[in-house]
Structure 1
Amino acid sequence: MENEPERPELAESCAAGIPYSLFTIMASQAFYSFTVVAFVVLTSILMLRQRLASSGQQPATKLHPLKSVPPEQLPKLIQSLLAELPGCVILQADAAAFQEAVDYSWAQQNREIIPACIVRPCNAQQLGKAVTILKLEHDRRSHAGASAAGFFTIRSGGANPGLGASTVQDGVVIDLSLFRDVTPAVDGSTVTVGTGAKWLDVYQALDKKGLTVMGGRSPPIGVGGLTLQGGISFYSPKFGFVCSNVVSYEVVLANGNVVVASASEHPELWRVLKGGSNNFGIVTRFTLRSMPSAPVWVGQMFAPAAFQQAKALKVFHDYVNHASSSQPGGFDENAAGPILSFVYVQSLPLQLIALHLVYTEAPDDKNWPVYWRATGFASLWSFYRSSEVQSHTSAVEHIGRSAPAGTRHMQATTTIRNHAETMKAAYDIFCHTTTKLRHVKGLLFPFTFQAILPAWMNKGHPNVLGLDGCTEPLIILNCSVTWAEAKDDELVRSTIRHTLERIDAAAAARQSDHPYRFMNYCMEFQRPYEGCGEENLKLMRETSQKYDPDGLFQRGLAGGFKLDITHKT
């Protein structure tokens, strides 16, 4: 029972690229047989265009009383920011503007962390002034013996659901949302992008110029976080990680100075920013490699997991083996990595398989490209599948959205080798986890498999991800969980953490574990730099001490993954 609607609108979806609205609609029905499931799903898909046309960010919910404090009673740090940056500081007293700024964070749990103020600079010079003031406060606290830990944070896109990833209770949030310019070079070879831009906005602006860039596969994701932590694109098989395609960075250092880091200027800083995140300064702009925009082919399919979960795992495993081999037709740089997800929908309860494929050199029609037809994915049975050629922007917009803004959401990750028994063990642990969480209201739980292939993992400029000596394929496993109520926060978070620990133990027992962690999916408790290798870690620590000798971004900055450097006090 297959169908190919001419153009299904799948606008709300999970972080791994699975249509969120599809599962939301399914969750609202009472399904007593598979026939009913298929019928309702297909009918619902055809109705999505109208229903989603007006959908978007959920309205803000004011959960905390905000403080109205006279300026002279504000802490000296905030008074200094107000004096040096008039018009850039949003105080709690300005309730409407402050609430709007707080709700810029995507995940609801981060909207409930209330800072003392939000600083929104308009340019690198204003940001430099803000950093200078923060550095003075950091030094004052350090010299006074007071804690300088985590009193400010940096927010670019605000989409990271990690708890406190880009906000801080009673501290200062540096909001980079005004750094969202998109400026192509005259010859079209590069594009300079502000760190606060969202990827969808970047793609839409470049469509008018006939260009595109390597970037995120989900519209809410901001440029800054994804690019500094690694980033995978539909074009990664051709060019590598997103971070390895950055030509230069504009950076505000801990002393407030603005520098450009490139292969010829501050080359060690240029190198460590390719995966080193926010440990060295605040990047305001990225100059990225660009390419002519062209249509891409996108295919999706959905099926009940109970019918063929074992086959789906085998197909994925066999595909990764073949794509990593030297056999004819194995690796194709136009084939974006397949995204295979097992999705548990609590309110059915039902587990589905979702498969997402992209081919960046689109065929003349919407039929499957020859490369994908030759894989086992084409033989998977499904109750729904779609296949269409569309722009890169449309592909991201329609099939790559994350859980809706304002929902409780988290994700966490680990990495294994392409080992069939370990994949099966990880899937079984996922199933056990869904049993433990089956009473969590509104639970939607995609467990996703994605591959990093040796043919592309080291393309582009050198980075500090630690994969330069890797000659085998790796599989990123991602838990991406959405739920409804705050009372379940701790249960969900602790359960997912334990799930990852069990998967890691199962992989280690089979000698199929791997230290690399895809930082873009890491939870705040994880330690991704442990997988970067001693040489890269040494380079990052030395560069941090050179450009930030007093540790402003190691101690004063809340959020992000640290390098465990001991600085002078």
Structure 2
Amino acid sequence: MVFLNTSRIVISLIIVTLTLRARAASIGVQNCCGDLHNLFPSLVSFPNSTNYNSTLYSYYTAQEVSIDPACFFSPGSESDIASTLSLFSQHKCSFAIKSGGHGIWGGIANIQNGVSIDLAKFNALGVASRGNETVVKIGVGMKWGQVYQLLDAQGLAVPGGRWGGVGVGGLTLGGGISFFSTRVGFVCDNIVNAQVVLASGKIVNANATSHPELWRALKGGSNNFGVVTRLDLLAFPQGKFWGGQVIQPYTPATLDHFVDAVSTYSSDPEFDIYASLIFSYVFNSGSWIFISNVQYTQENNFPSTLAPFTDYEPDTQVQNTVRFSNLSDFADTNSDADGPNGATRNFYFTRTYGSSPVLIRQMYNLHNETVSKTVSLLTEAVSWSLTAEPFPTVLTQWGDRKGGNVLGLHADDGPLILWLVTVFWHDPTNDAMIAKAVSDFFSKIDSLAQELGLYNSYSYLNYADKTEPVIEGYGAENVAFLRAVSKKYDSQGVFQKLVPGGFKLGV
């Protein structure tokens, strides 16, 4: 009896302790939002207000829209953010950082019952000269479609998102793939300066000569070091170019053709750096199709290197939108196909493997089996795709040539292919089944890739699910470097402990 009473007392104490902790956390958040409102009454919005709802529904996925922060904070200057970070450190208030809000999984750029910082007001763009180079200074609250519209008129371009609705900040700090990647490297490789508000409230410019470690860490290190408010990217002259989308129905012969085409394109030792390809095998409305999203960014005739994706059996093509147009048109057209923000639940999962027709064929076969089995168990229609994005060696060499990044990719890795599975649906009760099916699919492909000597640890941060070891995939040397930079610039671990969203450094 004494033992039972003691157990009950211990359990009661645990419950009371947990309740008090939860209440203290709630009070901390209330203090943060309340104190923020006292400091910046016009910059803080609360649930059920027009500004709050407008910001909430600007997130891309239904998972992010379903998260309710205690308040949104919409700073208008770096000094606003500096004051805020001091307040957050004092109250131990958890917060999220939103640039364009195009992250996929729930909680990557939003936070339940915390404070979500919305950087939409950092939307200025300027063009400047730097010696014989042109630099575009971009506020991280801009979306790439807005950037391209302004630069098209000046005959300029920067590497950036291929979907116009994607935000500047998140894409760039996660690495960033563009139509120009093989010409100039990842988007992050083209950062010549980043303006950052540190946890201490100090505002710094990180570049090759000032805070160079921070500059390199930001090139793939995401939200782990501070609030980035402006990114200065190298620009280059760019006029109209060829691009568009070709849709073809599935047949076994067409599958054979595209398996060989993707492998040949990815491994071409004379790769044409002006070519860009996103190739998808898509299940939608009960049928399979192939979608080739192609661009050729040199202003001349469409090249032979992309002909296997645009000219194959033209009489059977469902759609062919290949045209001569400008960057903003191609990016906006891609985004228009996505539909309204927050309308669907999305799941992304990514891997990187060496290029091989043997592996590609096995992936397509297993993908067919996975989709067929899973769809038969679901209570709703889904859209499900397997996408290949070639990483030829001319792409992975750029990081080392432009001051280094932390992605862990190098030319001696050989030709690679970035793979992405995307699923779109509506019913949250199907979340776990879909996630497990995709994860199991890649676990099997991982094993096969390792057997074939084609496995690469890199996972593209902007495509990755929250369960993927993105930072670890950069390699031990880069992980150690990132942790050292975090310790130097955020000694209290504000961006590790108070910002749960994104991919953390494990410190």
- State TM-score, norm by structure 1: 0.79
**Partner amino acid for 2:288?**
Q
- The equivalent residue for 2:197 is 252
* Displacement after TM superposition at 1:400 (Å): 5.0
| Structure 2 residue 66 is the aligned partner of structure 1 residue 131 | no
| Structure 2 residue 36 is the aligned partner of structure 1 residue 81 | yes
Residues 73/299 of structure 1: CA separation in 2 closer, same or farther (3 Å cut): closer
Q: Deviations over 1:10-34 (max 9, x none)?
A: xxxxxxxxxxxxxxxxxxxxxxxxx
- The equivalent residue for 2:381 is 442
- Among 259, 263, 274, the alignment partner of 1:313 is 259
* Displacement after TM superposition at 1:194 (Å): 0.7
- Among 444, 464, 467, the alignment partner of 2:409 is 467
| Structure 2 residue 121 is the aligned partner of structure 1 residue 178 | yes
**Partner amino acid for 1:456?**
L
Secondary structure class of the residue paired with 1:426: helix
- Structure with the bigger RCO (C-alpha within 8 Å, sep 6+) is 1
CA contact (8 A) 1:155 1:166 kept: yes
- The equivalent residue for 2:245 is 300
| Structure 2 residue 53 is the aligned partner of structure 1 residue 108 | no
| Structure 2 residue 378 is the aligned partner of structure 1 residue 424 | no
* Displacement after TM superposition at 1:529 (Å): 1.4
**Partner amino acid for 2:38?**
A
* Displacement after TM superposition at 1:258 (Å): 0.7
C-alpha distance in 2 between matches for 1:400 and 1:100: 19
- The equivalent residue for 2:99 is 156
C-alpha distance in 1 between matches for 2:102 and 2:389: 20
C-alpha distance in 1 between matches for 2:489 and 2:141: 23
* Displacement after TM superposition at 1:211 (Å): 1.9
C-alpha distance in 1 between matches for 2:432 and 2:30: 33
- Among 448, 451, 473, the alignment partner of 1:531 is 473
- The equivalent residue for 1:339 is 278
- The equivalent residue for 2:349 is 412
- Among 138, 141, 155, the alignment partner of 1:196 is 141
Residues 258/440 of structure 1: CA separation in 2 closer, same or farther (3 Å cut): farther
* Displacement after TM superposition at 1:80 (Å): 1.8
Q: Deviations over 1:64-120 (max 9, x none)?
A: xxxxxxxx998222222122222111112x532222121121111211111111111
Secondary structure class of the residue paired with 2:265: helix
Q: Deviations over 1:515-558 (max 9, x none)?
A: 11111110111111122122211111100000001111111102
* Displacement after TM superposition at 1:492 (Å): 1.8
C-alpha distance in 2 between matches for 1:380 and 1:507: 32
* Displacement after TM superposition at 1:186 (Å): 5.1
- The equivalent residue for 2:306 is 372
CA contact (8 A) 1:182 1:192 kept: yes
* Displacement after TM superposition at 1:376 (Å): 7.1
Q: Deviations over 1:96-146 (max 9, x none)?
A: 2222121121111211111111111011110111111111122xxxxxxxx
Q: Deviations over 1:301-336 (max 9, x none)?
A: 2222224112211111122222xx2xxxx2112112
In the TM superposition, 1:207-246 aligns within 5 A as 207-246=152-191
- The equivalent residue for 1:510 is 452
C-alpha distance in 2 between matches for 1:233 and 1:101: 27
C-alpha distance in 2 between matches for 1:284 and 1:79: 24
* Displacement after TM superposition at 1:499 (Å): 2.1
- The equivalent residue for 2:6 is none
**Partner amino acid for 2:332?**
E
Secondary structure class of the residue paired with 1:162: coil
C-alpha distance in 2 between matches for 1:229 and 1:73: 30
Q: What are structure 1's unaligned runs of at least 5 residues?
A: 1-71, 139-147
Greater helix content: 2
4+ runs deviating over 6 angstroms = none
C-alpha distance in 2 between matches for 1:165 and 1:304: 35
C-alpha distance in 2 between matches for 1:383 and 1:246: 40
Q: Deviations over 1:429-460 (max 9, x none)?
A: 21122113323523111210111111121213
- Among 204, 212, 217, the alignment partner of 1:272 is 217
CA contact (8 A) 1:319 1:376 kept: no
C-alpha distance in 1 between matches for 2:240 and 2:272: 17
- The equivalent residue for 1:54 is none
Secondary structure class of the residue paired with 1:169: coil
C-alpha distance in 2 between matches for 1:169 and 1:103: 15
CA contact (8 A) 1:245 1:461 kept: no
- The equivalent residue for 1:62 is none
* Displacement after TM superposition at 1:467 (Å): 1.1
| Structure 2 residue 493 is the aligned partner of structure 1 residue 551 | yes
Secondary structure class of the residue paired with 2:471: helix
Secondary structure class of the residue paired with 2:108: coil
C-alpha distance in 1 between matches for 2:332 and 2:50: 29
Pairs aligned (count)? 469
- Among 85, 91, 99, the alignment partner of 2:53 is 99
In the TM superposition, 1:381-396 aligns within 5 A as 382-384=316-318, 385-396=320-331
**Partner amino acid for 1:129?**
S
Residues 377/99 of structure 1: CA separation in 2 closer, same or farther (3 Å cut): closer
* Displacement after TM superposition at 1:299 (Å): 4.1
Two-structure CA RMSD over aligned residues (Å):
2.0
- Among 482, 487, 493, the alignment partner of 1:540 is 482
C-alpha distance in 2 between matches for 1:487 and 1:530: 31
**Partner amino acid for 2:266?**
V
CA contact (8 A) 2:161 2:177 kept: yes
Secondary structure class of the residue paired with 1:389: strand
Secondary structure class of the residue paired with 1:288: strand
- The equivalent residue for 1:143 is none
- The equivalent residue for 1:19 is none
**Partner amino acid for 2:238?**
S
Secondary structure class of the residue paired with 2:347: strand
- The equivalent residue for 2:7 is none
Residues 108/86 of structure 1: CA separation in 2 closer, same or farther (3 Å cut): same
Secondary structure class of the residue paired with 2:462: helix
- The equivalent residue for 2:228 is 283
- The equivalent residue for 1:169 is 112
C-alpha distance in 2 between matches for 1:75 and 1:297: 53
- State TM-score, norm by structure 2: 0.88
CA contact (8 A) 1:218 1:402 kept: no
CA contact (8 A) 2:246 2:309 kept: no
CA contact (8 A) 1:453 1:472 kept: yes
- The equivalent residue for 2:394 is 455
Residues 88/299 of structure 1: CA separation in 2 closer, same or farther (3 Å cut): closer
Secondary structure class of the residue paired with 1:521: coil
C-alpha distance in 1 between matches for 2:345 and 2:51: 23
